[in-house]
Structure 1
């Protein structure tokens, strides 16, 4: 089965032209996903001219791979935030995400967007950890989010307790995106290669702008900002099935083996199996999700499967605002965790106000210029350790004979003539050898057997088995040599 989301399979839009030559604008936005498009819309409404630069097609990055839950329910987040950054800033985070839901509803109604919007509750549930749910409920109450405890859910699995967030929403993200993008100045298939002061340099030309926004999932410049030291990336998986029970609510489990659920038309989305990018999951996550769905609904039929990649910050709060102290006219929106829908809208609200020199009540907690030792130190050490471990692998010797041990349909890192290669053998016998080191900072790549990709365990760059670039922060393909099968 082809790995493609139901959103990509069910809608499309006209192609946009590529950039040609040099142009000038008020604001250049790098990235044509929800964060970039919403920010451009709000800035245009405020009288600013914007240009969006997209390396592929609009919505072709993480927006097409979301489960599209528009919710302020972000796992066990609010108790942690109160403890780490205080009640005031935790309240900013909560209020910003609640306002994001309201803004989505306003836009859907104002522009009559046919995007399958559905008002619905969101549940945090457990089969074991009721104390954690009750503690989160107390935190949520302190921050003024409408929520209640309940033991009643629509789930087919045992549930001891759930925390119900009222008045949340779900929708078709690409239908919404395509409508909001209409009328905006967007250049597709225009890959940004570098940014210098007020100039965005692409493979098709240059854009001179007063402000530059990095809304491209992962900021690809290492300096300034040092975002590669402040985030790691994680992968998660989804299957859609028909002939399963449809659910009014959206569900997110806090137990280690719990799944997430939401209905989308005639199919049910079942998600889970997350892991750090570059670290092989235990078993096949797609088969696990399909097996769990079948165990609950024996007659269900899988219709699609896909995966997403999320940037995880040190303190679990996105970086939205000024890019760095040394670049006052650069802005960034990244580190959304697994909650890209509300975070995209929050980004648009904050960045628009910052650029228009207006006060924003939520900007402080999301500021990329923050540094919170209590919230961040432990995770920073852990993430740095992962990066160092990846770099140290460059010295590991892998014998030549391991090349012959790679079976059809498998990939492995091998040593050949003094160089390390990632070798993949196709089912028809072709052998593809790529550089085993990520071009970003040189970490050794790991084989992802379930998606046939080479993944970087340090910072999350990904490449297909031919060496073609899939995910940032790396910007280039890796060298590939192909040998035809017999």
Structure 2
């Protein structure tokens, strides 16, 4: 399973940090957000080091659908209701500027990354009122938008669409490859802790002393201060790349709960959807859902690639970009990008680089991790707390009825094995892989993900492969290390 982007780009391998070092700015995370932040700071003469637990652009960045838009689902109407019109204007200004900033970098660095301007559409089959409310909010926020009655994805049967003009799409790895070449990056270097004197301690006991530290590791790995594990959950979305499908001439996303997203890349249609909360895909079927829909919409299409991605969802659907906490003036965070990581990565890089360089920024307030709105945030926080409590308790008291013999080849599940609750996966040849079902992050009960063959935490989104090796934060430990 690999994305179309990964199939086209290979990054130069970097060494693992094997000595203690000092630097001006340390960026933790070599994805789009971290690399853009490092790029902007280094262009302004700051000494920057980037570390990544695995490889450059090897996480969520390689699995994006790669849209660069200020259209982020039904966002502007909710921001106006919760934070006022000025908050929505800030959000719009930041994301519109992000589109232009990508183009400026591409032109100045002469990067060939298949960048194209395209209109972006939100469409609906029956929720026209919400679309009209978002249109009015977008207009008040300064967005060049219009409602249209006809869209090119005719097989879907959209009733109405909201069009944002002059948005963009690209190949993110082609963009990042030349950017990363100019940066100091250490791969396979896992950050475990940050001490009070701004020193990052790595898994192999190396130490990095920095004046400023940027945590751009998708999901923050430090539980305190900040308490981001209480302010976000994670979701997975699934994607197919189809050959012999339609040229939709734009980027499309459905606002309905079971809708799909569309965009083209070269001769392929990128077809996404089948969203699941991380840890809630025990039976699988996400890819099959997409494949069934693809055959109905595009019966002559052929699947060339399929992949899945993971998104951090904040309580109010606005990213957390700014100081990690009020107690850590020299530590910054970039997280909670929802499903709009490409645009928001640029927004984060602009905000954090301005903060470190002590430049003024007129749109950072709406993204501040210190904000809190009682109306929607409390409702979403309560729902996340219920799910966390249920799975935390389940790990301690639920006794599985299934045994090893009940797991078929090619499947996984929680069983009683040798007197203990155990996660079991049997490969297609019947080889058995066993793991602890206790998440190494905060101890919630893991759930089997039948589509990705992984163990996923429904509380905070940590993920492990079927051998117990961690693959998604907030955990930074394997199951056998607990």
**Does the Cα contact within 8 Å between 1:85 and 1:375 map onto a contact in 2?**
no
2:3 aligns with one of 2, 5, 14: 5
Native 8 Å contact 2:248 2:263 kept in 1: yes
| C-alpha separation in 2, matches of 1:446 and 1:195 | 30
Asked whether the equivalents of residues 253 and 260 of structure 2 are also in contact (C-alpha less than 8 Å), the reply is yes
Residue 169 in structure 1 maps to residue 144 in structure 2 = no
Q: Which residue in 1 is equivalent to 2:20?
A: 22
What is the deviation of 1:479?
A: 2.8
Tell me the equivalent position of 1:60: 58
Mapped to 2, the partners of 1:103 and 1:28 lie a distance apart of 23
Match of 1:402 in 2: 403
Cα distance in 2 for residues equivalent to 1:298 and 1:50: 50
What is the rounded CA distance, in whole Å, between the counterparts of 1:132 and 1:400 in structure 2? 45
Q: Name the SS for the 1:21 alignment partner.
A: coil
Deviations 1:3-43 (A, max 9, x none): 21010111112112221211111100000001011001111
CA distance in 1 between counterparts of 2:373 and 2:298 reads: 46
Runs of 4+ in 1 over 6 A off after TM superposition: none
- Matched residues in 2 for 1:400 and 1:324: separation? 44
> Counterparts in 2 of 1:307-346, with a 5 A limit?
307-346=308-347
Superposed CA offset, 1:81-118 (max 9, x none): 10011111111111100110010111111111100001
- Asked if the contact 1:71–1:101 (Cα under 8 Å) also holds between the matched residues in 2, the reply is yes
Structure 1, residues 230-265: CA drift from partner, whole Å, max 9, x if none?
A: 100000000001011122200000112210000011
Deviation of 1:73 after TM superposition, in Å, equals 0.5
Provide the secondary structure at the position in 2 that maps to 1:149. strand
3-state SS in 1 of match to 2:479: coil
Give yes or no for contact 1:275–1:281 (8 Å, CA) kept in 2. no
* Rounded Cα–Cα distance in structure 2 between residues aligned with 1:401 and 1:273: 28
Trace 1:99-178 onto structure 2 (pairs within 5 A).
Answer: 99-155=97-153, 156-178=155-177
SS of match in other structure, 1:240 = strand
1:355 aligns with 2:356: yes
Alignment partner, residue 196 of structure 1: 195
In 2, Cα distance between equivalents of 1:131 and 1:227: 34
Shift of 1:398: 2.8
Residues 125-155 of structure 1: CA deviation (Å, up to 9, x unaligned):
0111111111110000111100111112110
- Partner residue, 1:265: 266
Cα distance, 1:281 vs structure 2: 7.0
Equivalent residues of 1:199, 1:206 under 8 A apart: yes
Matching residue of 2:421: 420
Quote the residue 1:439 is aligned against.
Answer: 440
Evaluate the alpha carbon distance shift between residue 94 and residue 421 of structure 1 in structure 2; reply closer, same or farther with a 3 A threshold.
same
Structure 2's unaligned 5+ residue stretches are: none
* TM-score, normalization by structure 1: 0.96
Distance 2:283 2:436 in 1: 25
RMSD: 1.3
Question: Given that residues 241 and 300 in structure 1 are in contact (C-alpha distance below 8 angstroms), is that contact kept between their aligned partners in structure 2?
Answer: yes
Q: Give a deviation string over 1:388-436, Cα, whole Å, max 9, x none.
A: 0111102334356522211111111112344211011111011111001
Cα gap change, 1:194/1:382 in structure 2, threshold over 3 Å: closer, same or farther? Answer: same
Question: What is the Cα deviation at residue 282 of structure 1?
Answer: 7.0
Quick one: distance in 1 between partners of 2:399 and 2:338?
A: 35
Corresponding position of 2:81: 83
What is the TM-score when the length of structure 2 is the normalising length?
0.97
- Equivalent residue for 2:181? 182
Q: Is the 8 A contact 1:397 1:415 kept in 2?
A: no
**Aligned residue number for residue 389 of structure 1:** 390
Preserved contact between residue 325 and residue 369 of structure 2 (Cα < 8 Å) = yes
State the match for 1:40 in structure 2.
38
Contact 2:25 2:210 in 1 (8 A): yes
Residues 267 and 325 of structure 1, relative CA distance in 2, 3 Å threshold? same
CA 1:416–1:330 in structure 2 vs 1: closer, same or farther (change >3 Å)? same
1:174-195 CA deviation, whole Å, 9 max, x = no partner?
0101111121111112111211
Match of 1:484 in 2: none
CA distance in 1, matches of 2:258, 2:365: 35
> C-alpha separation between the residues in 2 aligned to 1:135 and 1:399?
48
2:385 and 2:297 mapped to 1: Cα distance?
A: 41
Distance, in Å, in 2 between the alignment partners of 1:24 and 1:436 is 39
- SS of residue paired to 1:377: helix
Distance in 2 separating the partners of 1:282 and 1:165: 37
Aligned runs of 1:218-257 on 2, under 5 Å?
Answer: 218-257=219-258
Q: Which runs of no fewer than 5 residues in structure 1 stay unpaired?
A: 481-486
Q: Counterparts of 2:104 and 2:66 in 1: how far apart (Å)? A: 17
